[in-house]
Structures are given as C-alpha cells and as structure tokens.
Amino acid sequence: MDLNEKDPGVTRALALALMRQAREYLGAIGEDEASLHLQRAIDALLKPAPGNSAQA
C-alpha cells in the first residue's frame, strides 16, 4: 500500500478503522490495558484540533 498517493482523509479513515479492529481483537483476548491505550489513541484522533470543529 502506497500511502503517499492516497488522500489524507482516506488514509486517516483507514487508520481509524484498523485501530478500532485491533482494539476489538485485544479486548477479545483479555489485553485490557493495551485495548485501553488504543481507545485513548482513537479518542485523540477523533478529537477536533483547536480551531477546527469539523475535523472528524
């Protein structure tokens, strides 16, 4: 996968989808701490940047 040619929005959406999927897998095998860290990363990605209320 060549990320340099993709639209940044598409790359960001793909990363978010993969993070959510990984969080589910980690939770399924009892890796609660790792799952929590990944959830925090997801939350950070979805948090609007200062001065940009329509980022997500």
d(CA 21, CA 15): 10
* pTM more than 0.95: no
The closest of 2, 38, 9 to 21, measured between CA atoms, is 38
Per residue in 20-48, pLDDT (tens digit) is: 999 999 999 999 999 999 999 999 999 98
Lowest mean pLDDT among 14-18, 19-23, 49-53: 49-53
DSSP state of 56: -
In the block, tokens 């001065």 appear at 51
Name the burial class of residue 31, with classes exposed (0-12), middle (13-18) and buried (19+) by CB atoms within 10 angstroms of its CB. Answer: middle
Domain spans of the chain, in order of start: 9-46
